[in-house]
Amino acid sequence: MIFGATGDLAKRKLFPSLYRLFSRNKLDKFAVIGVARRSLSNDDFQASVKESVISSLGNKEDLDQFVSHFYYQSHDVADSSSYVSLRNFADQIDADYELEGNRIFYLAMAPEFFGPIALHLKSDGLTDVKGYKRLVIEKPFGHDLESAKKLNQQIRSAFSEKEVYRIDHYLGKEMVRNIEVIRFANAIFEPLWNNRYISNIQITSSETLGVEERGRYYETSGALRDMLQNHMMQMVALLAMEPPISLTTDEVRSEKVRVFRSLRSVEGEEVKQYFVRGQYGEGMVEDVTVPKYRDEAMVDQESNTETFVAGKIMIDNFRWAGVPFYIRTGKRMATKSTKIVVQFKDIPMNLYYQTEKMLNPNLLVIHIQPEEGITLHLNAKKAGGHLDAQEVKLSFANTGIHAMNTPEGYEKLLYDCMRGDATNFTHWDEVAYSWAFVDKISAVWEKTKAAFPNYESGTMGPKAADELLEKDGFFWWPMAELEVDICK
Ligand code: BG6
């Protein structure tokens, strides 16, 4: 059951992902009930599903067969009688398709409805099933720790923790999932993966888009809550966690939770030493002049909301003591790109001074998007020359090998949920620790007015974000330089 079936997420991501699973024979017996407020006939709903698949994947021969599995129910989320008719309808569909009482509820709608819907699902009998029941829930999971706790209580009164699948779509990305394989399947990395050999780790997730039509939501969120609390922190956890005993959901999650427990808490006066906020001004993005954030729709002319955040995260445990994890994310930046740079320490003595500069440190770059792959930066002898060293880059490109894009994150996450694999969904403990960390930063930012706008659209953020690294003797590796050779 998809709640919010006429919304943007369902159209852009869920229907095309379901189609891809269908076309690969991953969906055997299935039916989808689209649930939303407006009244719509089954035929119209099926037509809209078809249209969304066509617009994202092109026309397909078996589309009519695919959409014949889709049904529509108009629904009032606050009204019990609406849930009762939904239950009766679902029971009927269950019998027709022999679904053995297995049911997934996908909440693809505004977060204020998550709690009330979960409560109704239980009180109106939709969760009384013979088979499994699972709840898939989109972000944001609360606005801060307190609201997240309240939401969690509501959800948990109807579903157990094991039945809750909290989506973080970054965990569906091919190269985010690859982090653990790169780390734990290679003898050359894991022994070096600690503070003896790594000097710092940089994670950048930059976007060129502005806030688009989401001004109202974004004003209450900002980059800290929208990107850092979830996606960025999840990448930090995957990079920093200890090798799990095995790859079971519980083992992987408990290692991630241990990372969150080791985060150095940053509060009060310290916040400005560790974190930088920014808001975009007018500027040029891809040769087009774009307005400042404060001129976007539904945004306050005096808005104090950050559209950029950079931070230094310290993980105070044996493995990572002293190694900064620098993270930055923002809207209206110079390029749309997500990359992780693992910078290794310099060798103890340099025998190969080049004429102009010092040896480059070894880097392992994990390209998350748009290109997918890894690059290892090494030093090797310059061909023909004297004993001069020069940088060489070994690249592996995912897309280059398969000659097509890797599957959408949502497709993998939906499939995981159907199989009952919650490893790539966020556990409540991860959510709670991450909010506790972020709340201390927002508490300071909310109290003080920033001198916004402080970066021009089309740039890599405010100058202070560069200074954050400079004062530690580092710099952000330029994105354009890192892109060389990969997936071209
Ligand atoms: C979402 C945020 O979670 O992630 C958006 O709400 C952001 O503001 C998006 O644009 C970025 O996702 P991706 O996959 O394009 O990096």
Q: What is the pLDDT along the chain (488 residues), one digit of tens a residue?
A: 999 999 999 999 999 999 999 999 999 899 999 999 999 999 999 999 999 999 999 999 999 999 999 999 999 999 999 999 999 999 999 999 999 999 999 999 888 899 999 999 999 999 999 999 999 999 999 999 999 999 999 999 999 999 999 999 999 999 999 999 999 999 999 999 999 999 999 999 999 999 998 999 999 999 999 999 999 999 999 999 999 999 999 999 999 999 999 999 999 999 999 999 999 999 999 899 999 999 999 999 999 999 999 999 999 999 999 999 999 999 999 999 999 999 999 988 888 765 556 788 999 999 999 999 999 999 998 888 777 788 899 999 886 544 444 567 899 999 999 999 999 999 999 999 999 999 999 999 999 999 999 999 999 999 999 999 999 999 999 998 888 655 44
For atom 8 of ligand 1, the residue with the nearest CA is 226
pTM of the model: 0.95
First to last CA, the chain: 41
Please state, in angstroms and rounded to a whole number, the distance separating the CA atoms of residues 252 and 247.
Answer: 6
* Nearest atom within ligand 1 for CA of residue 231: 3
Bridge partners, 278 (sequence order): 308
The pair of structure tokens assigned to 287 is 């040769």
Please choose from 207, 230, 235, 408 the residue to mutate so as to test ligand 1's pocket, defined by most ligand atoms within 8 A of CB.
207
Pocket, ligand 1, Cβ cutoff 6 A: 139, 205, 207, 226, 338
Residues in the chain: 488
How far is the CA of 48 from the CAs of 23, 72, 89, in angstroms? Answer: 18, 11, 21
Please choose from 226, 232, 340, 412 the residue to mutate so as to test ligand 1's pocket, defined by most ligand atoms within 8 A of CB.
226
For atom 13 of ligand 1, the residue with the nearest CA is 170
Q: Position 392: which residue type?
A: V
Please state, in angstroms and rounded to a whole number, the distance separating the CA atoms of residues 407 and 285.
Answer: 28
Question: Residue 32's pLDDT is what?
Answer: 98
Question: Residue 404's pLDDT is what?
Answer: 45
Cis? peptide before 478, omega within 30° of 0:
no
Contacts of 128 (CB under 8 A, 6+ apart): none
For atom 9 of ligand 1, the residue with the nearest CA is 227
> What's the Rg (C-alpha) of the chain?
24
Q: What are the backbone angles phi and psi of residue 213, rounded to the nearest 5°?
A: -90, 10
CA of 94 to the centre of ligand 1 (A): 35
* Nearest atom within ligand 1 for CA of residue 331: 10
CA of 50 to the centre of ligand 1 (A): 25
Question: Residue 355's pLDDT is what?
Answer: 54
Half-sphere exposure of residue 263: CA atoms within 13 angstroms, side-chain side? 27
Mark out the alpha helices in 112-199 (DSSP H runs).
Answer: 114-123, 145-156, 174-184
For atom 2 of ligand 1, the residue with the nearest CA is 226
For atom 15 of ligand 1, the residue with the nearest CA is 207
CA of 223 to the centre of ligand 1 (A): 10
Can you tell me whether residue 332 is helix, strand or coil?
Answer: coil
Can you tell me whether residue 194 is helix, strand or coil?
Answer: coil
Q: Give catalytic status of residue 69 as yes or no.
A: no
The pair of structure tokens assigned to 38 is 């407006």
Mark out the alpha helices in 28-108 (DSSP H runs).
Answer: 42-57, 63-67, 80-97
Which helix (H) or strand (E) is 137 found in, with range? strand 133-137
CA of 170 to the centre of ligand 1 (A): 9
Helices and strands per DSSP (H, E), number in the chain: 17, 17
Question: Residue 486's pLDDT is what?
Answer: 57
The catalytic position among 231, 367, 377, 427 is 231
CA of 445 to the centre of ligand 1 (A): 22
Q: What are the backbone angles phi and psi of residue 358, rounded to the nearest 5°?
A: -75, 170
